[in-house]
């Protein structure tokens, strides 16, 4: 019923425990020194966790006029004086310790070309980088516990299997026969580029290495270029005539859903020198490939993978358990990413430009994955992370899903030329450290207790001590027991009657049987005692482990709380510095504005004083000009009055002479017919002084002779108005003739007398629809004359009898009248003042108010007559130069006479006929 020796219960595939604890991606920053001392520096290390970026001189001020200075915080910042050893101790050493304890790790170096990524990862002779120091720490830690070569063998499915001793021995012999290089080289590397990367005094070692396990290290080196994966350790025959390009590898998923490069070469190494030699072999192959394919090494991603296979030893501690399920494989990926500069800066063309674009596309995919992870964690969304868009992100998707720790070293160059690229790198790094990755859990190695060989030795020592306390050493007790056995008596029987030999033999055997029982009881007693001691120790150990686990949990919570408080303090310090900086800027801006305000205030006061002086000067000039204008106006008024009086006297004399001639002519013509009749009393119109007329003559309509009058010199008012309206229907012209009585009165006088006297025909102002008689009074008018009108002092003036004159219409005046007229003045196109009489009818509304409906517009216009001497004929003048009666047929003569429309005309009131010709300009 006992289990086979050297075997343990097969372990089930460990169920991935749910781990709610998450750690942010650790992002570190390393600043490289400037190439020249006089070169402009754009980065300043403020503290061990914060840097500040200063824009170069060409980009100092943005649109708001503020300085572009930004601060970025990291888990730790390494300045230019940081050594490779200090960087390794903070960044890569925890990942190597996790690798030895079956945990995965991923380490990136990110930055633009020339920022120090390769130096940080690889280093130089005497200044080894992260990669050689990680290898050295691994072998320093597991050196005494390494398994023999070929005991662990890759199964080409991202796993390891354990070979038996015979197969491993055959593989070792095969390798020794194929390689002519001695196992222990007598000389170091000859190439000085590879020599002495790490000094012995800088070597470090991990603690708490499981001594009951056996270890083996496997390395692989791949390159991702143009989104293709190439194996740099693959042994391919070299054809110098027609070299074959390397073949791209594909990604696959193992049984644990982890991604790996299918068919990738994995080399087992047993020392730091051997591992680093394999790395440089791949590095040289990479350089040769770059030279053959004419490409830049900085435009590709290099991935160096370190796999650590470990399996428990059997109970005796001599051989590795032949059980694949007990083998644990952990890996550490060291990735040197390509330069993150934009394609426009690389100055690449053609295929180089396309390849650079693919590299940038892979970095952009990495940024996108980080952004989506950050959004899913911060916003609670469940968006799909596009890992498959790039080989880099697809290969390392398991790390971001919680299969190991993720660290990133951001390398920056402080020179001014890289400022814009460095700004983009800082933003990506700031976003990356906000992503949290699930903390990897501890995986048990096997069913055996850790440190079992030491405990077995301790058990043996304890047993020896107990036995010594009881009776001396174990060998003395056994010897005493063995010596207590009586020697067996002779067993030869002398004869059939021999009764002495057999009883003596039986007696001796019984004594030995009793001694054996005593020994068995002693052993059982000791075993029970040891069992109770072991149970007690196991219970104490479990209680202590539980207590330690509980204390670790509390410690983790405290550490997280402390870290959160540190982050908050850093954020507040950063905010405080930024606010202080803004306060300084605002204070400077306020001082500038105050200075501008004082200068502007002084300028404003000077301008106000100058304005006051100019205003006083203007008032003096206005007073002076007003006096000059008044003097000139009085002068011209006197001159105009003198000229008008002279012209009136001249015209009066001409009219008197003409009147005398007409009386003589009339006496001659009517001498025979009116012998018995007394002559009519001549009119004294000639004795009257003509009314004073304005400088500008009154506008008159065109007058044409009426064919109904017997003489050509007579004028019909109705015909003149109908011809002047030009557009009034014939029926209206017929309806607008003069009343018979007016015509009779007009015909009763000679034409010359009618023209000379300037008699006017008076009539109603509007066209009444229903009117009883002229004596009934007619409608009342509201005569609206605004105060802004100018007194033209013309002969023709609107005369509305029995009208209410107002300056502004009001309800009281409108309620008493049923007609409305508005006198409106404006400038015509020739610059003369034009007066319009806008007439309307007043209606009562249902609400008790009044409304006006406009029905007609009359226009009064002053014009300057043109010279008519050219249009008169010599035959039309009399012997004394005066125009004859047929001058009424001339258009100019007819237009120079103003007539008033009769009652019912569209023009309405306002025109009165005066027989004076229009005054010419002097």
Indicate the pairing of strand 803-806 with strand 781-784. parallel
Q: How confident is the model at residue 226 (pLDDT cuts 50, 70, 90)?
A: confident
Of 567, 170, 98, the C-alpha closest to 331 is 98
Tell me the pLDDT band of 231, cut-offs 50, 70 and 90.
Answer: very high
Nearest to 756 by CA among 653, 836, 686: 686
pLDDT, tens digit, 9 for 90 and up, residues 784-795:
989 888 877 777
Six-digit token pair at 652? 């009066």
Strands 104-110 and 301-312: unpaired
What sign does the CA torsion over 384, 387, 388, 394 have? negative
Q: Give the model confidence (pLDDT) of 661-686 as tens digits.
A: 999 999 998 875 555 444 444 444 44
What's the confidence (pLDDT) of residue 901? 43
Are the C-beta atoms of 472 and 481 separated by less than 8 Å?
A: no
Interval 413-468: pLDDT, tens: 998 888 888 988 999 999 899 888 888 776 655 556 666 667 766 776 776 776 66
Percent of the chain scoring above 70 in pLDDT: 68
Q: What is the DSSP string of 320-347?
A: B-S-GGG-EEEEEEEEEPPP---HHHHT
Q: How far apart are CA 176 and CA 181, in angstroms?
A: 9
- Is the pLDDT score of 645 beyond 90? yes
Indicate whether 617 pLDDT > 50.
Answer: yes
Cβ-based neighbours of 483, under 8 Å, separated by 6 or more = none
Higher-confidence position of 494 and 765: 494
Q: Which residues pair with 274 in a beta bridge?
A: none
For residues 494-516, give the mean pLDDT: 82
- What is the rounded CA–CA span in Å between residue 905 and residue 728? 10
Q: What pLDDT score was predicted for residue 351?
A: 54
Q: Which of 317, 364, 315, 360 is nearest to 341 (CA)?
A: 360
Residue 674: predicted pLDDT = 52
| Confidence (pLDDT) at 490 | 74
Segment 275-288 mean pLDDT: 89
Average pLDDT over residues 176-203: 62
Among 194, 224, 217, smallest CA distance to 132 is for 194
- Whether 731 has a pLDDT exceeding 60, the answer reads no
Minimum mean pLDDT range among 63-77, 319-333, 574-588: 63-77
Mean pLDDT of 599-606: 95
The CA distance from 23 to 16, in Å, is 18
Q: Tell me the binding residues.
A: 111-118
Q: What is the pLDDT of residues 107-156, one digit of tens each?
A: 999 999 889 999 999 998 888 899 999 999 999 999 888 999 999 999 88
How far is Cα 646 from Cα 642, in angstroms, rounded to an integer?
6
pTM score, whole prediction: 0.51
For residue 217, how far is the Cα from the chain centroid? Answer: 50
Residue 213, strand partner residues: 312
Q: How far is CA 372 from its chain centroid?
A: 19
Q: What angle do CA 673, 675, 678 make, to 5 degrees?
A: 110
Region 519-546: what's the mean pLDDT?
90
Considering only residues 633 and 908, tell me which one the structure prediction assigns the higher pLDDT: 633
pLDDT for residue 839 is more than 80: yes
> If DSSP codes are grouped into helix, strand and coil, which group holds residue 413?
coil
With cut-offs at 50, 70 and 90, classify the pLDDT of residue 318. low
Coil/strand/helix, residue 166: helix
**Of the given ranges (658-662, 693-697, 780-784), which has the lowest mean pLDDT?**
693-697
CA gap 227, 248 in Å, rounded: 10
Nearest to 71 by CA among 96, 40, 41, 49: 49
Cβ of 565: how many Cβ atoms within 10 Å? 10
Cβ 74 vs Cβ 429: under 8 Å = yes
Mean pLDDT within 865-889? 47
| 444 alpha carbon, distance to own chain's centre | 51
Binned at pLDDT 50, 70 and 90, residue 890 comes out as low
Tell me the pLDDT band of 875, cut-offs 50, 70 and 90: very low
Helix 419-432 to helix 351-379 angle, to the nearest 10 degrees? 40
Q: Provide the residue count of the chain.
A: 922
Contact 249, 263 (CB under 8 A): yes
Question: How high is the pLDDT of residue 2?
Answer: 40
Q: Which of 755, 759, 750, 758 is nearest to 663 (CA)?
A: 750
Share of the chain above pLDDT 90, in %: 33
Which pLDDT belongs to residue 501?
80
Any idea where the domains of the chain sit in the sequence? 36-57+68-177+209-238+254-438, 781-787+799-858
What pLDDT band is residue 618 in, cutting at 50, 70 and 90? Answer: very high
Sign of the torsion formed by the C-alpha atoms of 94, 96, 102 and 105: positive
Average pLDDT, rounded, for the chain? 76
Cα separation, 842 vs 134, in Å, equals: 111
Q: Residues annotated in the binding site for ATP, as ranges?
A: 111-118
Q: What is the mean pLDDT of residues 817-841?
A: 85
Here the tokens at position 901 are 């429309």
For 781-787+799-858, give the CATH class. Answer: mainly beta
Q: Residue 571's closest CA among 73, 78, 186? A: 73
| CATH number given to 36-57+68-177+209-238+254-438 | 3.40.850.10
- The confidence score (pLDDT) of residue 323 equals 80
Q: Is 232 exposed, middle or buried (0-12, 13-18, 19+ CB in 10 A)?
A: buried
Separation CA 119–CA 117 (nearest Å): 5
pLDDT of 727 over the 70 cut? no
Quote the pLDDT of residue 451: 64
* 183 band by pLDDT with thresholds 50, 70 and 90: very low
pLDDT confidence bin for 355, thresholds 50/70/90: low
Q: CA 143 to CA 834: how far, in whole Å?
A: 121
Alpha-carbon gap, residue 56 to 39, rounded angstroms: 11
Angle in degrees, 0-180, between the axes of helices 501-669 and 474-484, rounded to the nearest 10: 150
Tokens coding 389: 């868009």
- What pLDDT shows up at residue 672? 56
pLDDT of 870 above 50: no
């Amino acid at each position: 019923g006992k289990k086979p020796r050297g075997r343990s219960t097969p372990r089930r595939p460990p169920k991935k425990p749910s781990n709610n604890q998450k750690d942010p991606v650790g992002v570190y920053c390393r600043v490289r020194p400037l190439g020249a001392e006089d070169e402009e520096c754009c980065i300043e290390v403020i503290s061990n966790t914060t840097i500040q970026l200063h824009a170069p001189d060409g980009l100092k001020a943005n649109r708001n006029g503020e300085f572009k200075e930004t601060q970025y915080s990291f888990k730790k910042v390494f300045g230019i004086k940081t050594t490779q050893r200090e960087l390794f101790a903070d960044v890569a050493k925890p990942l190597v310790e996790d690798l030895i304890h079956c945990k995965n790790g991923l380490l990136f170096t990110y930055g633009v070309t020339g920022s120090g990524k390769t130096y940080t990862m690889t280093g130089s002779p005497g200044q080894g980088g992260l990669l050689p120091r990680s290898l050295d720490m691994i072998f320093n830690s597991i050196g005494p516990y390494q398994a023999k070569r070929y005991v662990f063998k890759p199964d080409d499915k991202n796993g390891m299997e354990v070979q038996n001793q015979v197969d491993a021995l055959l593989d070792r012999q095969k390798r020794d026969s194929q390689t002519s290089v001695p196992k222990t080289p007598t000389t170091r590397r000859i190439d000085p580029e590879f020599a002495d990367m790490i000094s012995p005094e800088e070597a470090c070692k991990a603690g708490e290495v499981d001594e009951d396990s056996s270890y083996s290290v496997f390395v692989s080196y791949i390159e991702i270029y143009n989104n293709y994966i190439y194996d740099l350790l693959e042994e391919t025959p070299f054809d110098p005539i027609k070299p074959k390009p390397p073949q791209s590898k594909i990604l696959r998923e193992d049984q644990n859903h982890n991604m790996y490069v299918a068919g990738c070469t994995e080399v087992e190494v047993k020392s730091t020198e051997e591992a680093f030699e394999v790395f440089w072999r791949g590095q040289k192959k990479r350089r040769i490939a770059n030279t053959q394919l004419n490409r830049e090494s900085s435009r590709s991603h290099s991935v160096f993978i370190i796999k650590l296979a470990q399996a428990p030893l059997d109970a005796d501690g001599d051989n590795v358990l032949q059980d694949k399920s007990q083998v644990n494989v952990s890996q550490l990926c060291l990735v040197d990413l390509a330069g993150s500069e934009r394609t426009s800066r690389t100055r690449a063309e053609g295929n180089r430009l396309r390849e650079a674009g693919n590299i940038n596309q892979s970095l952009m995919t990495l940024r996108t994955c980080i952004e989506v992870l950050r959004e899913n964690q911060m916003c609670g969304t469940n968006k799909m992370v596009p890992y498959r868009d790039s080989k880099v992100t697809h290969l390392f998707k398991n790390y971001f899903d919680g299969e190991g720790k993720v660290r990133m070293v951001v390398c920056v160059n402080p020179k001014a030329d890289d400022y814009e690229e460095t700004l983009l790198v800082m933003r990506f790094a700031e976003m990356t450290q906000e992503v949290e990755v699930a903390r990897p859990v501890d995986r048990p190695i096997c069913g055996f207790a850790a440190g079992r060989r030491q405990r077995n030795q301790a058990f043996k020592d304890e047993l020896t001590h107990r036995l010594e306390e009881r009776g001396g050493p174990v060998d003395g007790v056994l010897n005493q027991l063995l010596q207590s056995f009586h020697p067996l008596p002779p067993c030869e029987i002398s004869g059939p009657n021999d009764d002495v030999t057999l009883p003596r033999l039986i007696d001796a055997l019984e004594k030995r049987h009793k001694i054996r029982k005593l020994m068995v009881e002693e052993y059982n007693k000791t075993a029970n005692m040891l069992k109770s001691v072991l149970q007690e120790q196991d219970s104490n150990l479990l209680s202590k482990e539980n207590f330690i686990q509980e204390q670790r949990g509390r410690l983790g919570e405290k550490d997280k709380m402390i870290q959160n408080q540190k982050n908050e303090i850093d954020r507040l310090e950063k905010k405080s510095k930024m606010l202080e900086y803004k306060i300084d800027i605002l204070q400077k801006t306020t001082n500038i504005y105050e200075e501008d305000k004082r200068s502007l205030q002084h300028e404003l006061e000077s301008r106000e004083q100058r304005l006051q002086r100019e205003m006083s000067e203007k008032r003096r000039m206005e007073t002076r000009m007003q006096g000059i204008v008044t003097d000139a106006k009085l002068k011209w008024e006197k001159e105009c009055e003198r000229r008008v009086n002279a012209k009136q006297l001249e015209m009066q004399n001409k009219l008197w002479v003409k009147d005398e001639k007409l009386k003589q002519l009339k006496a001659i013509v009517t001498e025979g017919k009116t012998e018995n009749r007394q002559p009519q009393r001549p009119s004294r119109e000639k004795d009257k002084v003509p009314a004073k007329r304005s400088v500008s003559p009154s506008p008159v309509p065109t007058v044409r002779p009426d064919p109904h009058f017997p003489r050509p010199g007579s004028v019909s008012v109705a015909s003149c108005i109908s011809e002047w309206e030009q557009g009034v229907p014939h029926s209206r012209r017929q309806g607008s003739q003069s009343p018979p009585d007016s015509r009779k009165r007009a015909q009763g006088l000679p034409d010359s007398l009618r023209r000379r006297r300037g008699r006017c025909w008076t009539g109603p102002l509007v066209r009444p629809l229903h009117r009883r008689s002229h004596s009934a009074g007619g409608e009342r008018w509201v005569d609206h004359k605004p105060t802004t009108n100018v007194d033209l002092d013309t002969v023709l003036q609107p005369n509305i009898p029995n009208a209410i004159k107002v300056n502004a219409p009001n309800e009281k005046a409108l309620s008493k009248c049923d007609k409305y007229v508005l006198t409106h003045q404006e400038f015509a196109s020739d610059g003369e003042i034009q007066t319009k009489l806008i007439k309307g009818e007043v209606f009562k509304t249902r609400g008790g108010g009044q409304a006006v409906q406009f029905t007609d517009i009359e226009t009064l216009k002053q014009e300057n007559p043109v010279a008519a001497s050219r249009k008169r004929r010599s035959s039309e003048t009399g012997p004394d130069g005066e125009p004859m009666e047929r001058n009424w047929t001339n258009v100019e003569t007819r237009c120079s006479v103003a007539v008033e429309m009769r009652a019912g005309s569209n023009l309405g009131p306002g025109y009165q006929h005066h027989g004076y010709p229009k005054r010419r300009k002097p």
